[in-house]
Amino acid sequence: MRKLISDFFVGSSKVEVVGTARNGKDAIKKIQSLKPTVVTMDIEMPEMNGLDALKEIMRQCPVPVVMLSSTTQHGTENAIVAIENGAVDFVAKPSGTISLDLHKIQSELVYKVEQAAMVPISKLKKLSTSKHQQESVTRASTVMKESQQHQRMPTPINTIAVKVEAARPQGEWSKAGKKIVLIGTSTGGPRALQEVITKIPKSIQAPILIVQHMPAGFTKSLATRLDQLSEIVVKEAEQGDILQNGIAYIAPGGYHLKLRKVGTTFCIVLDNQEAPRAGHRPSVDVMFEDVSQYSDFDKIAVIMTGMGHDGSNGLKVLKNTGNVIAIAESAGTCIVYGMPKAAVETQLVDEVADVDDIAQTIMKYLP
């Protein structure tokens, strides 16, 4: 597999392969001697696996790392842990652990390696939240979440009485009225989401919709991990879920995240028929544009770290159709200052905040 991965970069004018390693231990030695700009590494390796090697790399010789991961449940969970431990990004192997058709991911891997090369080493540190602190949050929120389990099941849409309400007039921002929080992110997003979502109190008077660019299967593991660490409930969105305050819904990989109003209630709609937008499904633009049609909510739109410009066009639509507070992550804390930069360039962003201040910034606009 090392030979195949090396061959992927032959056609890239931006990448030169300077070495390969047999396993995690060998990788650490090679990195120390060759000092590469970027490392690609499989999670599954002999002697020392990719997760253990990643920890040592981040401790001894930090360098941007793009991981290769299988799409099994164990593989997706490990990919999320790798991101927490400092990996810039990951690529899903198409055939799981066997990898007979790795050629299918060539363009994605080359692109992500080229982008990872631009990430400053200073931004590769692990999340500041310690394991002990994470476990404390998990224990503190367990009882509350167990009491909410029955609320997390989607209510059948055909059991809701339909009632048409007059739209609330638009005006200046007020803490009164219904609110919804919309978050879009890409590269570096899992770590940014952990920094933000774990600081949101369970008393938040708004639902949260999240689009994280990620393949199918991996969003489930991300939601599970965030749910373990947060006071609020975090779940992968399911078709027909009823929006509730204090719950964050993460768009599944391969589906656009939309809403449907039935009476006074809003339900999740997952759409895998609409084409990817700029290569993304889910797309932040699609989520923003869909939610913009509902004047029932004042919206707080947050755009965090990520390559490209997803979210900036949707932000324009949001701002043209209702009361919206737009928050962008600062360049100083973004792993990749792409999506927030594009949002700021629209001149429609109200607040620019470091990632560790975004939760507080969101909450100051809520009752």
2-123 matches 156-363 in fold: yes
CA 257 from centre of chain: 13
Please say if 213 is a catalytic residue: yes
Q: What is the pLDDT of residues 150-192, one digit of tens each?
A: 344 443 333 333 333 333 334 578 888 899 999 999 999 999 9
Rounded Cα gap, residues 119 and 334, in angstroms: 9
Please write the tens of the pLDDT for every residue from 268-315: 999 999 999 999 999 999 999 999 999 999 999 999 999 999 999 999
Q: How far apart are the first and last CA of the chain?
A: 54
- Looking at domain 156-363, does it have CATH number 3.40.50.180? yes
Query: What mean pLDDT value characterizes the chain?
Result: 87
In this prediction, residues 44-67 reach a mean pLDDT of 94
Which amino acid is located at 63 in the chain?
V
Interior angle at CA 49, CA 45 and CA 50, nearest 5: 95
For 64-106, the pLDDT digits (tens) are: 999 999 888 899 999 999 999 999 999 998 865 555 567 788 9
* Annotated active-site residue in 42, 241, 285, 310: 310
Encode pLDDT of 134-161 as tens digits.
544 444 444 445 445 434 444 333 333 3
Catalytic residue among 69, 70, 186, 221: 186
Q: Which pLDDT score is estimated for 3?
A: 83
Q: Which residue has the higher pLDDT, 13 or 226?
A: 226
Domain boundaries, the chain: 2-123, 156-363
Query: What is the tally of helices (H) and strands (E) in the chain?
Result: 12, 12
Mean pLDDT to the nearest integer, 316-340: 96
Tell me which residue of 179, 189, 161 sits closest to 355, measured CA to CA.
189
Q: What single-letter DSSP state applies at residue 320? A: H
Average pLDDT of span 312-339: 96
Examine the pLDDT at 323 and tell me if it is beyond 70.
yes
Q: Is the pLDDT at 12 greater than 90, yes or no?
A: no
Q: Spot the catalytic one: 42, 70, 99, 213.
A: 213
Q: Where are the beta strands (DSSP E) in the chain?
A: 39-42, 65-69, 89-92, 179-185, 208-212, 233-236, 247-250, 256-262, 265-271, 298-303, 324-329, 351-353
The H or E element containing residue 16 is: none
Task: Give yes or no for residue 225 having a pLDDT over 80.
Answer: yes
Helix (H) or strand (E) run with residue 333 in it? none
> What tokens appear for 50 in the block?
């990719």
Q: Is 150 a known active-site residue?
A: no
Q: Is 33 a catalytic residue?
A: no
Query: Can you read off the two tokens belonging to residue 358?
Result: 């975004």
* CATH number for the domain running over 2-123: 3.40.50.2300
The answer to whether residue 21 scores a pLDDT higher than 50 is yes
pLDDT, residue 176, reads 81
